[in-house]
Amino acid sequence: MPESSTTPIQTSLPKTKRGRARREQILRAAEQVFAERGFSDTSISDITRVAGTAQGTLYIYFNSKEDIFRELVAEMGHLTRTVVAEAIGSAKGRLEAEKIGLRTFLEFVAERPALYRIVEEARFVHPPSYEAYFASFADAYRRQLETAAKRGDIKPGDAEIRAWALMGMAKTLGERFVLWKKDREIDEVADCAFDLIGKGLEP
């Protein structure tokens, strides 16, 4: 998994501590409701009811539920990159970083499944946000793989294709073994996947 890249563009944050807390309260309420009901079946009143605030207050911080949704997608990307970057900071080489990063990613999905489901729904709700989410990951990933190949940590190869392939593996493993059916331990999933990443399918 890639290290942290650029921070997502966000709307202006309130200047007061109280304002920032209220805005965060609205985001967390929206995260919960979007994950439970989906974007289309969620209304502003649903979000404000869970947040325990008035609709007028919500509009101080956001223009629409679409704005809130897009920010949650961007937040997931930023948080994931940050968490993974911190986890692999002490890795000894690229292959170890891949193993630690994959496990950390799956653990993060388990901790914040609502955000992950929101990202998946963005494919239909706001495709540009969905594409930007993965494109930003892929760009950072590609650069890291290129650097690792130059260092001799991994063999040379098309870094862009590799980045998207590795991301696809992490994404589908998160869906199958974390969101859909938790019948395997994360460590077991990460170890098996890493064996494939490091050694391939050759006997």
- Single out the residue of 20, 40, 60 nearest to residue 48, CA to CA: 60
User: pTM of the prediction?
Assistant: 0.81
Q: Over the stretch 30-50, which tens digit does the pLDDT of each residue have?
A: 999 999 999 999 999 999 999
What does the domain layout of the chain look like in residue ranges? 11-63, 69-199
User: What is the rounded distance in angstroms from the CA atom of residue 1 to the CA atom of residue 4?
Assistant: 10
In three state form, how does the secondary structure of the chain look? Answer: CCCCCCCCCCCCCCCCHHHHHHHHHHHHHHHHHHHHHCCCCCCHHHHHHHHCCCHHHHHHHCCCHHHHHHHHHHHHHHHHHHHHHHHCCCCCCHHHHHHHHHHHHHHHHHHCHHHHHHHHHHHHHCHHHHHHHHHHHHHHHHHHHHHHHHHCCCCCCCHHHHHHHHHHHHHHHHHHHHHHCCCCCHHHHHHHHHHHHHHCCCC
pLDDT value, residue 90: 87
Around 112, how many Cα atoms within 13 Å sit in the side-chain half-sphere?
17
The pLDDT value recorded for residue 190 is: 95
Handedness of CA 55, 61, 63, 69 (dihedral sign): negative
pLDDT at 102: 95
- Output the pLDDT for position 103: 96
Q: Say whether domain 69-199 belongs to CATH 1.10.357.10.
A: yes
- Record the tokens describing residue 4, joined without a space: 């942290």
pLDDT of amino acid 12 = 58
Q: What is the pLDDT of residue 2?
A: 55
Question: Which residues in the chain show pLDDT less than 50?
Answer: 3-10
pLDDT for the residue 34: 94
- What was the pLDDT predicted at 1? 59
Structure tokens given for 52: 């325990």
CATH architecture of 11-63: Orthogonal Bundle (1.10)
